[in-house]
């Protein structure tokens, strides 16, 4: 990028709030409240980091207006009583200290207020839900996840029943929203956002498939919008017309019978007429499906809400705010074109809170990219606090830090995957003298390879490579580490980050030439150690692979992705042994390239190491591509073109397999670390070699080791 982006960095205004640029942090529930709904030190430091990072305003993740009534999350932050004021005041002061603005998102969970039923309260709604939809979520969850998510249902007090809001309830709802807004103003929040999306109470009223009322709050969109309009009108009347109030709504539902964009345009017009100072657009998916979140508000499709937000902008004269995987340069163009006024960023600011400052300083290559893995949101589902796979600080700001070391030490990092690069980066930032050694001819490890099947992983590798290049880190590529090598380096400490070991199952036929391990696949796709697979390929495939390596095509991931659509040395019918994270990602890649893919797993849950929300997405995507997932399948024999397994009923089944890929058997790999320890070195381990933990394990492990040296 030659010049800093001019539109996204330009100042703006929402109501009376002057904003230093157009980058706003989208509301994200953090599950960081202390017992009883109080804002904690963890909450304050998490937000303060994002304020310091240059965002113009932070919209706090939803805060509960009637806590514990109407709350949905495990550690939901409350704004329902004056006792919550001091904690939230600390947060506001911490954010303001960085010249950043902060708003509170006011929330009642309605049909999603899961904490209500757990304590036997009725669930408040416009009208009671009718019928049951098919369960498309639990079959894809592990027993542990199911246990956590269903725990409230095991409470003796649990009682799921509904209360259709009568006039008194509606009065109460308006009152609690107004009281919370008034409290927010007293605390010093710069404004409030009314949460009117995502299946919560106000969205339940707006949604024709949920709201079946016959009174003035049901039926036409004007009636369904009435609750939101009355809340805005009464807040403005109580706290003063000048106090900024806006709302977040679903600009569309990706369902057949939910809110349409035309509905949302009407709601937006009415709410703005009632005094709203801005419209924050979002979207929602089908709540019966696990893909609800990645279809809806945490979209997997970049820029998915933009056309809907732009249509709303054409209807209102106040600023329109748009979220949803919007890259800064795309946001810049959208603002420049007048399609939207502000961009909200969520996951990008979990991955890198300093993103706005890096945009302002024109350093886009230093932005740590989000890899859209859904670790953050999946953790909220299983009652953990917010965290990020690629940023070990997120959610841990109050307990982890990067303090310079008081004595510079000589550190040898062995292994140039994400764990090694992150450990090297952090150690170098802290002032250590770091040498990073990698046996392959490039940095990135197995994640470089996964970048071919899933490009966001490639962007993470590129970011880490850039950081390593910028810092005073000596990099040695193509070096197989021996005891002599380590002795010559004479390090004060060694970090072993050599990745996992892979064990092949003991199955008849496992040595046949059409059976490939994960390492073989990596060699074929990246060209690293290609000699070990060449002998098992046809002469044409060998020639193509040789050409790929010689022409360095295998170093260009986007080109590799395109060319692999035309040619890959992999037969038509692919069977994978093991149905974990790697298998599911690879299955999608191969199925998109015309392969008929079957996954066999001895368990029942596929992709179980994948964060839940991403797993729902991946499994739905591969199902659409025709990938077969066979659970409870134990492979007993492989022959040329055939594979035999035993199913849950102990029956033998044989399927066609032109190519067999073993993705199971990934285990920790401690041998090098143990050897070096025996030789008297101070040894630390990071990443899969100490415990298989994929990208999150690598990034967090690397960070922790680098920070502890
Ligand atoms: C961890 C997490 C928590 C979220 N919590 C909320 C919330 O409390 N209120 C809300 O309106 N949206 C919530 N969302 C949705 C985000 O505001 C936003 O729509 C979504 O992350 C898409 O924007 P992005 O692509 O910039 O991340 C949450 C998203 C994530 C990832
Ligand atoms: S956990 Fe994954 S999806 Fe969430 S912010 Fe971090 S990288 Fe992005």
Q: Is the CB of 297 under 6 A from ligand 1?
A: yes
CA of 378 to the centre of ligand 1 (A): 12
CA of 365 to the centre of ligand 2 (A): 18
* Beta carbons within 8 Å of 90's beta carbon, 6+ residues apart: 39, 44
CA of 349 to the centre of ligand 2 (A): 9
Average predicted confidence (pLDDT) for the chain: 94
SS3 of 510, please? coil
Give the C-alpha distances (Å, rounded to integers) separating 403 from 366, 431, 470, 707: 20, 9, 19, 8
Q: Is the CB of 331 under 6 A from ligand 1?
A: no
386-432 pLDDT per residue, tens: 999 999 999 999 999 888 888 999 999 999 999 999 999 999 999 99
User: Global pTM?
Assistant: 0.95
Give the C-alpha distances (Å, rounded to integers) separating 512 from 187, 265, 659: 70, 61, 10
Q: In the prediction, which pLDDT does 565 show? A: 73
Which residue ranges make up each domain of the chain? 12-381, 410-500+668-708, 515-666
Ligand nearest to the CA of 199: 1
237-250 pLDDT per residue, tens: 999 999 999 999 99
CB distance 192 to 236 below 8 Å: no
Q: Is the CB of 614 under 6 A from ligand 1?
A: no
State whether CATH 3.20.20.70 applies to domain 12-381: yes
Least confident of 118-132, 274-288, 555-569, 614-628: 555-569
CB distance 197 to 248 below 8 Å: yes
Q: Is the CB of 325 under 6 A from ligand 1?
A: yes
Let me know how long the chain is.
709
Q: In the prediction, which pLDDT does 112 show? A: 93
Q: Is the model's pLDDT at 1 over the cut of 60?
A: no
Tell me the best of 53, 298, 354, 375 to mutate to test the pocket of ligand 2, counting ligand atoms within 8 Å of each CB and taking the most: 375
CB-count burial class (<10 Å; 0-12, 13-18, 19+) for 538: exposed
553-579 pLDDT per residue, tens: 666 777 777 777 766 778 899 999 999
CB distance 601 to 633 below 8 Å: yes
Q: Which of 116, 137, 233 is nearest to 177 (CA)?
A: 233
Rounded to whole angstroms, the Cα distance separating 490 from 703 reads 23
- Please give the number of the atom of ligand 2 that sits closest to the Cα of 348: 5
User: How wide is the angle at C-alpha 62 spanned by C-alphas 208 and 211, nearest 5°?
Assistant: 10
Q: In the prediction, which pLDDT does 531 show? A: 64
Mean pLDDT to the nearest integer, 49-73 = 96
The residue whose two tokens read 């199902």 is 623
Handedness of CA 58, 59, 62, 65 (dihedral sign): positive
* Confidence bin at 533 (pLDDT 50/70/90): low
Q: Is the model's pLDDT at 63 over the cut of 80?
A: yes
Q: Is the model's pLDDT at 539 over the cut of 90?
A: no
Handedness of CA 331, 290, 140, 115 (dihedral sign): positive
**% of residues, the chain, pLDDT over 70:** 95
CA of 300 to the centre of ligand 2 (A): 12
Q: Which of 70, 68, 55, 63 is nearest to 25 (CA)?
A: 55
CB distance 222 to 215 below 8 Å: no
The radius of gyration computed from the CA coordinates of the chain, to the nearest angstrom, equals 27
CA of 611 to the centre of ligand 2 (A): 10
Q: Which CATH architecture has domain 410-500+668-708?
A: 3-Layer(aba) Sandwich (3.40)
Rounded to whole angstroms, the Cα distance separating 210 from 22 reads 35
| 3 state SS for 20-71 | CCCEEECCCCCCCCECCCECCHHHHHHHHHHHHCCCCEEEEEEEECCCCCCC
CA of 323 to the centre of ligand 1 (A): 9
The helix/strand count (H/E) of the chain reads as: 27, 28
Q: Is the model's pLDDT at 546 over the cut of 70?
A: no
What CATH homologous superfamily does 515-666 map to?
FAD/NAD(P)-binding domain (3.50.50.60)
Rounded to whole angstroms, the Cα distance separating 521 from 527 reads 10
Q: Is the model's pLDDT at 213 over the cut of 90?
A: yes
Q: In the prediction, which pLDDT does 137 show? A: 87
Q: Is the model's pLDDT at 551 over the cut of 80?
A: no
Instruction: Kindly report the protein residue whose alpha carbon is nearest to atom 7 of ligand 2.
Output: 370
Q: Is the CB of 377 under 6 A from ligand 1?
A: yes
486-509 pLDDT per residue, tens: 999 999 999 999 999 999 999 999
Q: Is the model's pLDDT at 43 over the cut of 80?
A: yes
CA of 360 to the centre of ligand 2 (A): 22
Torsion, Cα 530 533 538 543, to 10 degrees, reads: 10
Q: Give, to the nearest 10 degrees, the angle between helix 418-429 and helix 455-470.
A: 30
CA of 369 to the centre of ligand 2 (A): 9
Rounded to whole angstroms, the Cα distance separating 686 from 673 reads 10
First to last CA, the chain: 36
Ligand nearest to the CA of 388: 2
Q: Is the CB of 348 under 6 A from ligand 1?
A: yes
Instruction: Kindly report the protein residue whose alpha carbon is nearest to atom 4 of ligand 2.
Output: 376
* Confidence bin at 95 (pLDDT 50/70/90): very high
Q: Which stretches within 454-530 are classed as H helix?
A: 455-470, 483-489, 518-526
Beta strands per DSSP E along 293-370: 320-322, 342-345
- Please give the number of the atom of ligand 2 that sits closest to the Cα of 347: 5
The helix (run of H) or strand (run of E) holding residue 662 is: strand 659-662
Mean pLDDT to the nearest integer, 676-687 = 97
Give the C-alpha distances (Å, rounded to integers) separating 554 from 74, 214, 441, 453, 541: 46, 63, 12, 13, 15
């Amino acid at each position: 990028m030659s010049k800093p982006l001019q539109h996204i960095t330009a100042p703006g205004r929402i109501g009376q709030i002057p904003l230093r640029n157009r980058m706003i942090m989208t509301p994200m529930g953090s599950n960081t409240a202390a017992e009883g709904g109080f804002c904690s030190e963890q909450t304050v430091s998490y937000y303060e980091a994002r304020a310091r990072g240059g965002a113009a305003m932070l919209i706090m993740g939803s805060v509960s207006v009637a806590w514990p009534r109407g709350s949905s999350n495990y550690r939901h932050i409350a704004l329902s009583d004056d006792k919550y004021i001091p904690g939230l005041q600390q947060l506001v002061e911490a954010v303001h200290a960085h010249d950043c603005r902060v708003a509170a998102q006011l929330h009642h969970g309605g049909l999603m207020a899961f904490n209500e039923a757990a304590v036997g309260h009725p669930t408040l709604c416009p009208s009671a839900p009718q019928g049951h939809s098919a369960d498309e979520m639990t079959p894809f969850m592990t027993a542990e996840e199911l246990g956590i998510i269903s725990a409230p249902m095991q409470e003796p007090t649990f009682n799921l029943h509904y209360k259709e809001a009568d006039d008194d309830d509606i009065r109460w709802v308006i009152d609690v929203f107004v009281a919370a807004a008034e409290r927010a103003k007293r605390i010093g929040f710069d404004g409030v956002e009314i949460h009117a999306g995502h299946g919560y109470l106000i969205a339940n009223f707006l949604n024709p498939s949920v709201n079946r009322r016959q009174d003035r709050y049901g039926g036409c969109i004007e009636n369904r919008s009435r609750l939101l309009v009355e809340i805005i009108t009464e807040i403005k009347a109580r706290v003063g017309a000048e106090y900024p109030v806006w709302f977040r709504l679903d600009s569309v539902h990706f369902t057949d019978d939910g809110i349409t964009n035309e509905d949302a345009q009407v709601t937006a017009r009415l709410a703005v007429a009632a005094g709203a100072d801005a419209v924050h657009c979002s979207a929602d998916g089908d709540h019966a499906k696990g893909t609800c979140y990645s279809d809806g508000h945490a979209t997997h499709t970049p820029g998915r809400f933009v056309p809907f937000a732009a249509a709303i902008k054409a209807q209102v004269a106040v600023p329109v705010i748009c979220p949803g995987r919007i890259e800064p340069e795309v946001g810049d163009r959208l603002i420049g074109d007048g399609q939207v006024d502000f961009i909200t960023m969520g996951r990008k600011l979990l991955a890198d809170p300093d993103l706005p400052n890096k945009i302002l300083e024109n350093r886009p290559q230093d932005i740590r990219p989000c890899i859209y893995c859904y670790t953050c949101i999946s953790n909220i589902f299983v009652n953990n606090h917010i965290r990020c796979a690629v940023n070990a600080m997120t959610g841990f700001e109050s307990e982890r830090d990067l303090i310079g070391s008081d004595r510079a030490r000589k550190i040898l990092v062995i292994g140039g995957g994400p764990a090694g690069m992150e450990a090297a980066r952090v150690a170098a930032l802290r002032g250590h003298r770091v040498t990073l050694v990698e046996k392959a001819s490039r940095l990135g490890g197995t994640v470089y390879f996964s970048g071919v099947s899933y490009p966001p992983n490639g962007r993470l590798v590129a970011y880490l490579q850039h950081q390593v290049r910028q810092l005073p880190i000596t990099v040695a590529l193509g070096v197989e580490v021996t005891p002599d090598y380590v002795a010559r380096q004479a390090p004060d400490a060694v970090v072993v980050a050599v990745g996992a070991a892979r064990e092949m199952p003991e199955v008849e036929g496992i040595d046949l030439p059409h059976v490939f391990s994960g390492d073989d696949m990596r060699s074929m796709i990246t060209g690293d150690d290609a000699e070990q697979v060449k002998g098992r390929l046809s002469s044409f495939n060998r020639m193509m692979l040789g050409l790929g390596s010689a022409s360095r095509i295998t170093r260009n991931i986007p080109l590799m992705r395109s060319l692999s659509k035309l040619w890959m040395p992999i037969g038509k019918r692919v069977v994978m042994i093991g149905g974990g994270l790697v298998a599911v990602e690879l299955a999608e890649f191969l199925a998109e390239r015309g392969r008929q893919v079957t996954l066999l797993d001895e368990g029942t849950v596929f992709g179980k190491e994948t964060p839940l929300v991403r797993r729902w997405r991946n499994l739905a995507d591969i199902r659409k591509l025709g990938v077969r997932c066979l659970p409870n399948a134990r492979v007993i024999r492989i022959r040329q073109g055939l594979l035999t397994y035993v199913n849950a009923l102990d029956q033998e089944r044989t399927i066609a397999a032109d190519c067999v890929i073993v993705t199971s058997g990934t285990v920790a790999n401690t041998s090098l670390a143990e050897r070096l320890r025996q030789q008297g070195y101070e040894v630390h381990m990071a990443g899969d070699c100490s415990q298989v933990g994929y990208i999150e394990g690598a990034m967090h492990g690397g960070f922790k080791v680098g920070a502890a040296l």
